[in-house]
Amino acid sequence: MSEKKPVPMSAVPQRPRCPVCGMPTYSRSGTHPQCMQASNDRLVRAAAKAPPPAPTAGA
Ligand SMILES: [Zn+2]
């Protein structure tokens, strides 16, 4: 019935790309909430990376 016309690339508004996954995002922050969460989680994990457990010698 109604054929969709192919949208020319120039007509597509530039969307911010998520710095985490590199995919265009609709989010105003420019980052997918889930990606931000994952990034945060990774950062937190890296920052909270506990030092190697002390050797339990003679315990
Ligand atoms: Zn993303």
pLDDT of residue 5: 81
Q: What is the pTM of this model?
A: 0.48
Of the candidates 44, 38, 19, 21, the residue with the CA atom closest to the CA atom of residue 29 = 19
Rounded to the nearest angstrom, the distance between the alpha carbon of 2 and the centre of ligand 1 is 33
**20, 39 Cβ separation under 8 angstroms:** yes
Stronger pLDDT, 19 or 59, i.e. the higher one: 19
Rounded to the nearest angstrom, the distance between the alpha carbon of 26 and the centre of ligand 1 is 10
Q: What is the C-alpha to C-alpha distance for residues 10 and 27, in angstroms, rounded to an integer? A: 21
Rounded to the nearest angstrom, the distance between the alpha carbon of 24 and the centre of ligand 1 is 8
Rounded to the nearest angstrom, the distance between the alpha carbon of 59 and the centre of ligand 1 is 47
pLDDT of residue 8: 66
pLDDT in tens, 1-58: 678 887 666 666 678 899 989 999 988 888 899 998 888 888 888 888 777 788 887 7
CB neighbour list of residue 38: distance below 8 Å, 6 or more residues apart: 20
